[in-house]
Structure 1
Amino acid sequence: MIPLSCDPAFYKLLADSYARLLNRPLVPPSVPNADAARWLYEMAPFAVLAHNTEQDPIFIYGNKAAQRRFGYSWDELIRLPSRLSAEAPNREARRRFLERVQQVGYEAGYSGVRIMQSGQRFMIEEATLWQLLDTDGHLHGQAVIIPRTRDL
């Protein structure tokens, strides 16, 4: 089984659902298609995370930028319930945000406090969360692109 970090089918789900919902590419057009999945995982200057559709969603993807920012390795991250990326007092706001995304398909411009594995807090800014919908409309989870963060 191919890990999602380099799975071309998972990359296609991420990129195609993002493009369909937001009408813009996830990866710059200057990146060749053959290199796009690797670029997104290894070299993107922004964080991308995705979680599954379980009742308590688990992260299934986090590129290197996300791993560095949140302080988790790949193996640690893909076992982490996504709710634990926010402190308990901020989880209700995060839950409402996720529900709005389920209704509309995406939401852009989100900011909120998140927490690293070390306990250090930081602010995510201008984040866009979208539904991971395949071409048949089947929901596979949600993903987020985080272009900017700042320490608190």
Structure 2
Amino acid sequence: MTQPTPAPLSRSTDPEFFALLADSYRRLLGKPLVPDSVPAEARAAWLYDSAPFGILAHNTEADPVFVYGNRRAQAIFGYDWQELTSLPSRLSAEAPERSERQAFLDQVGAHGYVDNYRGIRIAKSGERFWIEGVTVWQLSDADGTWRGQAALLPNVTPIEAAR
């Protein structure tokens, strides 16, 4: 996998975007996205640089585009920040998997979040892999305005190893 390039600080560790991710997660799942042991002022940087799980977020466009991917997600998918944040999120799945992915995202929209998702994804290199134990949640601000969806990817397994 390629080494991720640094992200522009305006998004990767932006306190307002971090608050959107973390507050939406806590509201819907009732638990913190970042361990409480991480100092408050360091949480956005921890999520981007040090989290042991991938985090992705996409916007609300008709064909949603990733607007965030932490270093772990960049390593999983093989894209740097610039590439990832210009990629329509549907392209993270192969064409035959996209209808299943969309049905799942519609379920997230109806329920606020869904956890324990498992699906096949594809890296920039063409490598296919399973994402497992995934939680996807709605991103909404304090006023309830929908801003997109985010995913926490705790487990990634190469297709060959999953057989």
Q: Provide the rounded CA distance (Å) in 1 between the counterparts of 2:119 and 2:10.
A: 29
**How far 1:2 moved relative to its partner?**
5.3
Matched, 1:10 2:13: no
State the one-letter code of the partner of 2:88: P
Matched, 1:107 2:92: no
**How far 1:6 moved relative to its partner?**
1.4
3-state SS of 2:87 partner: coil
- Runs of 4+ displaced beyond 2 Å: none
Q: Provide the rounded CA distance (Å) in 1 between the counterparts of 2:142 and 2:66.
A: 22
**How far 1:135 moved relative to its partner?**
1.1
Matched, 1:36 2:43: yes
**2:5 corresponds to which residue?**
none
**1:52 corresponds to which residue?**
59
Per-residue CA distance 1:26-62 (angstroms, 9 max, x = gap):
0011101000000000000000000000000000000
Q: Provide the rounded CA distance (Å) in 1 between the counterparts of 2:83 and 2:21.
A: 21
State the one-letter code of the partner of 2:103: R
Matched, 1:87 2:82: no
- The number of aligned residues is 152
Q: Provide the rounded CA distance (Å) in 2 between the counterparts of 1:4 and 1:54.
A: 18
State the one-letter code of the partner of 1:37: A
3-state SS of 2:103 partner: helix
Aligned to 1:139, which of 124, 129, 146?
Answer: 146
Q: Provide the rounded CA distance (Å) in 1 between the counterparts of 2:121 and 2:10.
A: 26
Q: Provide the rounded CA distance (Å) in 1 between the counterparts of 2:36 and 2:78.
A: 29
3-state SS of 2:11 partner: coil
State the one-letter code of the partner of 2:71: K
TM-score normalized by the length of structure 2: 0.92
TM-score normalized by the length of structure 1: 0.98
Cα root mean square deviation, aligned: 0.9
Unmatched tracts of structure 1, length 5 or more: none
Q: Provide the rounded CA distance (Å) in 2 between the counterparts of 1:14 and 1:95.
A: 21
**How far 1:3 moved relative to its partner?**
2.3
Q: Provide the rounded CA distance (Å) in 1 between the counterparts of 2:104 and 2:13.
A: 28
Q: Provide the rounded CA distance (Å) in 1 between the counterparts of 2:63 and 2:125.
A: 22
Matched, 1:124 2:131: yes
